Structure 1
C-alpha cells in the first residue's frame, strides 16, 4: 500500500507552538468558584457524570470549546487552575468527574470499569508483566490510551521529575512517510499488543498502529511497553526486523525536541489529550517521603468526543 501524508490541525511541531499560550486555558476566579459550588451541591456520595448533575454556567460553554479543540484542532489542551487546593481527595474526584462530563461520555477503566483511576506510585515493579504504567514511578514511553480522550488532573506533583510530554502523532506519522515510506506501510499492518490481564491468550490481541479514518485522517495507537511485553505470549511471534526498525524510528522521533512538547504539571492542571492524534509520555520521578505529599493524578477516559459537533 502507498501511505499518504495526512493534513490538518492535528499536525503540529513543538518547536512551533512551545512558546505559545494558545493551548492553555486558565480558569478565572468565577470558574473556580463554579467548580467549588458544584462540588458542594453534589455532595460526598455523588458520582456526577452528566452536565445537569454538575452545572457550570460559564465554565461549561468553555469546556465545550475545549472539546471542539480536542476533536477538530491540535488535539490537546491544558486547563489551569482547578481549585484542588481547596478540596479534599473525595471532592477532587467529584470535581474531575464533573468537569469531565462536560467533555464527553466517561468510559470505564480496568477490569472493574471504574470511572476514575488514581495515578500514583504503588511500589509496583514495572518489569512485571501485569504491572500497569500508572502504578510505578519509572519513565513511560510515548503512548496513547485506548479511548477517544484521556484527562489527567494533577492533585499533587512529584518532589522532582514526572514531567509530561506530548507529541503530535500525525506529525510523527508524516515524518515517517516523508523519510521512510517503507516503514510507514508497516505501521498499517497488524501488531501484537498486551492487555496485561494475565497469562492466557485473551491478554493478547492484534491491531495496526495506524488506522485510516473516514474523514481522510488517521487514528494512531501506539504503546511500546505493551507491544514489547506482548512477546511473553506463547503464541505471539517475535517482532519482525521491519517492526523493530519502525519502533526504533518512532522512539527516535517522539524523543526529538522538534516534536515533543514538555509540560511540568502543577496542582490544579487538567491535561486533556485526543488519543487518536496525540501520544504522551512521562519522565521518571522521585516522590516526597511523606505519603500526603506524594505525586497524585486522577485519570479519566472519554468516548464520544469524536462525534461530529452537529450530532453531539
Structure 2
C-alpha cells in the first residue's frame, strides 16, 4: 500500500520550533502562590492521589493558561514546558501533589504499574541498563528515542543532574514523513505488526504485537516507538527474529531521530515541568553524571490520558 505523509502541526523541525514561544510558559509570582495554596489545601484535605482533579486543585488564574498548554500538547506541536513551579518551597509529599495537581488540568491520571501507582520517582538506582527487565528511569545511561504507552507523559524536575541528562525531543510526524518521502518501501513496514516487550516477566504474557504507526481519520497518524522494548522482545521464546526490513527500518529511524535537523534539546532545571504527546513526539535523554546524596537528580513522571 502507498503510505501518505501525515498532516497537522505536529510536523516540525528543530530550527523552526526552537525559538517559538508557543510551547514555553513561565509561571509568574501570582501563579506560584496559587500553586502553593492549592498544594497546601489538598495536603490538608487528604484526598487520594487518583482523586486529585481540577475541582480539587483549583487554579483560577493559571488554569486558563494550562488549558492553552493542553491545546498545544494535544492538537499543536505536541509538547510544552512549564517553568517556575515552586518546588523549592515544597516537601516531597507536596512535590507529588503539585505534579498531580498541575497535570490533572492537562488530562486524567493513568496508573504506571500493576496497582494504582499514579506517579514514578525518576532516580538512578544503579540498575543495569543492559538487563532486559530494567526500566529506563532506573539508571543514568543514555535513553534512545521512544514514546510512552499513554497519551501524554509529564516530567517534573525537582533536581537536575550535575551534568548531562538533557531531554531530547523530535517530531515523530516529521520523521515519519521523511521516511515516506525517502524510503516509501520502509514506511510500509511501520504499519505492520511488531513484537514488543512489556518487561513484566519471562512468559508469553510479557510479549505482544502492534504496529508502530496507526492512521487516524483526520489524516494524522499516531506513532508509537520504543526500540529498546522491541529489541528486548527478542528474548521471548514465542517471538520470531526481526526481519531484514524491520532491522533496516529501525536503523533508519535511529539515524533520523539523531539527525540535528529534528532534535530539540531541553535542559530541564528545578521547577520545570515538561508535557509530551506520545502520539506526536518521541523523546530521549543523554547520559548524566550525578551529584552525591542527598542532591542527586530527581524527577517525577506522570502519565495522562486526554481522550
Asked if Structure 1 and Structure 2 have the same fold, meaning a TM-score greater than 0.5 normalized by the shorter chain, the answer is yes
Q: CA RMSD in A?
A: 1.0
The answer as to whether partners of 2:23 and 2:69 remain within 8 angstroms in 1 is no
CA-to-aligned-CA distance 1:124-149 (integer Å, 9 cap, x gap)? 11111211111111110000000000
Which whole-Å CA distance do the structure 2 matches of 1:32 and 1:129 have between them? Answer: 41
1:310 corresponding residue in structure 2: none
Structure 1 position 256 matched with structure 2 position 223: no
Q: Which runs of 4+ in 1 moved over 2 A?
A: 19-22, 44-48
2:156 corresponding residue in structure 1: 153
2:186 corresponding residue in structure 1: 183
The answer as to whether partners of 2:27 and 2:83 remain within 8 angstroms in 1 is yes
Structure 1 position 17 matched with structure 2 position 10: no
Matches within 5 A, 1:103-182: 103-182=106-185
- Cα displacement (A) at 1:7: 1.7
| TM-score (normalised: structure 2) | 0.97
Which whole-Å CA distance do the structure 2 matches of 1:113 and 1:2 have between them? Answer: 42
Which whole-Å CA distance do the structure 1 matches of 2:303 and 2:24 have between them? Answer: 20
Correspondence for 1:288 among 262, 286, 291: 291
3-state SS, counterpart of residue 61 of structure 1: helix
Deviates more, 1:17-26 or 1:87-96: 17-26
Correspondence for 2:241 among 238, 244, 255: 238
Correspondence for 1:278 among 276, 281, 305: 281
Deviates more, 1:36-45 or 1:63-72: 36-45
CA-to-aligned-CA distance 1:152-190 (integer Å, 9 cap, x gap)? 000000111100010000000000000000000000000
- Cα displacement (A) at 1:117: 0.7
1:66 corresponding residue in structure 2: 69
Which whole-Å CA distance do the structure 1 matches of 2:179 and 2:15 have between them? Answer: 18
The answer as to whether partners of 1:15 and 1:257 remain within 8 angstroms in 2 is no
Which whole-Å CA distance do the structure 1 matches of 2:8 and 2:186 have between them? Answer: 22
CA-to-aligned-CA distance 1:89-123 (integer Å, 9 cap, x gap)? 11010000111111111000022230111111111
Which whole-Å CA distance do the structure 2 matches of 1:170 and 1:207 have between them? Answer: 18
Which whole-Å CA distance do the structure 2 matches of 1:127 and 1:201 have between them? Answer: 21
The answer as to whether partners of 2:157 and 2:270 remain within 8 angstroms in 1 is yes
2:3 corresponding residue in structure 1: 3
Matches within 5 A, 1:92-107: 92-107=95-110
Gap regions ≥5 residues in structure 2: none
- Cα displacement (A) at 1:21: 2.9
Which whole-Å CA distance do the structure 2 matches of 1:78 and 1:43 have between them? Answer: 25
3-state SS, counterpart of residue 53 of structure 1: coil
Which whole-Å CA distance do the structure 1 matches of 2:149 and 2:218 have between them? Answer: 20
The answer as to whether partners of 2:22 and 2:72 remain within 8 angstroms in 1 is no
3-state SS, counterpart of residue 102 of structure 2: helix
The answer as to whether partners of 1:153 and 1:298 remain within 8 angstroms in 2 is yes
CA-to-aligned-CA distance 1:234-279 (integer Å, 9 cap, x gap)? 1101111100000000000000110010000000000000000100
Equivalent pairs, count = 304
The answer as to whether partners of 1:188 and 1:209 remain within 8 angstroms in 2 is yes
